[in-house]
Structure 1
Amino acid sequence: MSEATRSTPPLLALVVDDEPEIRRFLRTGLEMRGFRVVEAQTAREAIELAVMRAPDLVVLDLGLPDADGASVLTELRSWSKVPVIVLSVRSSEAEKVALLEAGADDYIVKPFGMAELLARAGVVLRRVATRAAPAPVLRVGGLTLDLAQRIVSRDGVVLTLSPKQFALLRALAAHHGLVLTHRQLMRELWPHDPDEDVQYLRILMKKLRNRIEPDPARPVYVVTELAVGYRLRTQEQFDAAGYAMAMP
């Protein structure tokens, strides 16, 4: 191990949840991945620790005893760009959309697996580290996207995409691994008519999946967040979902 590697401190995760069992579960998984962990069980403690400790990642439950976790997100976003992954037993699509557009980097509904959480945490942390265009070549399973050359292939076979289909895939690649809401994608693809009927986006997505997915009826690369939006999986998320074993 080099001197530079030894001098790099581990990342600090702030876990905000009022249930001790959940905090222990999260601490164990995050520490096994190399994080340092601090815990808060109230909204007030969360804000205080965020100010005092400047965490690299916040895992935020919504059901806190003194305030809704959404208020913590709003407060954090007023002065910080720290990645925030929201946890909740609530599965309302409207709430997911509101939180993502309020600045949450991702949203996971309880119960969840540690592999899924760690995969999503890795995505948001890499996103913060780059804060730039996506890598010129992205690979997920058998899908390869070469942004510089505008070439998309699956299992070595080059696929033909329309300009609009490629633009949709490129927009998802720019937020590789994260959820993009319908509204965010509409603004990206139809900047002059962002309030166009979302059905146009669904039709475009269906055409894109017909091109890139092994089975468009059961997509494994671009997955739907029901009534919220879409996510282009990373390789880690692909593996965590168990699809690597199923693919030939």
Structure 2
Amino acid sequence: MAESVPVCCPECRREHTYTPPVYQCDCGAPVVLPLRPDVPPTQVHHRTWDDSWVEVGCSACGTSVQWPQPELGCGCGTLLRLPVAPYAEHGGAGAPGPTAPEAQDASRVPPASTSGTAGRTSEATATGALEECAGKRPSRTRPSFQPVTIRTAQDARTAAAQYLRWLGFDAVRVTEKRAASGVDLRGGGIVAHVDPSTDPTGFGDVETLWLNGLNEEAGTACFSLAGYTREARMRADSLGVALFVLDLTGMPQAVNDPADDLIRSVC
């Protein structure tokens, strides 16, 4: 099982606890990314696809595969990339464990229960809030969220749509073409914007999304791969727009109070 490591945000000095995601090799064995707690995390100012993947080998079969680079979104808006031991250094080390009866498909979707998570001080994470709600309503069991590994912009929209459906929003659909309104997802009581670019989402996108939600009398949620500018976060907090950061495993993380409130409202 993956062990949690302490992470300190270099921007605000906030302390987090991060558990690396556990992936599944094609042979069925679990693979844990070997984090280096002795090396400080780096801030992601501009995301590139090449830098977003890391080579890690399977200890069971020796196969070397590229997996999403571990990342953590701090509550201050900083996106951190966590260092992983080079493949030659860790020798293809993966997490020992029993072989799964069936390997997952080629998309290598990681189990949601073992995905990387980060604790925000005095704030409930998306997963924590959902688990709390599930405990209050045992008669209504929510299946585990199965994220979609993100390699393309369409994958990002699909991952966000799947998450909203999992939260309980009905008839969430992905727009076929990027609309001028900036709304990429629509569902019962929700409109959402998905920013798959390598630059932080700006306040203009947040304001546009809020106006669309106001016009359609729906809640609003924004998903970003590269995080948000400080102005965007402040504007979202004042307008009540829920902000989520997507990592490349397709697992969203709430980064502001409206996002936590949105999660609780549908639990």
TM tier, smaller: 0.3 to 0.5
More helix by share: 1
Q: Which protein is bigger by CA-based radius of gyration?
A: 1
Provide the TM-score with structure 2 as the length reference.
Answer: 0.36
Provide the TM-score with structure 1 as the length reference.
Answer: 0.38
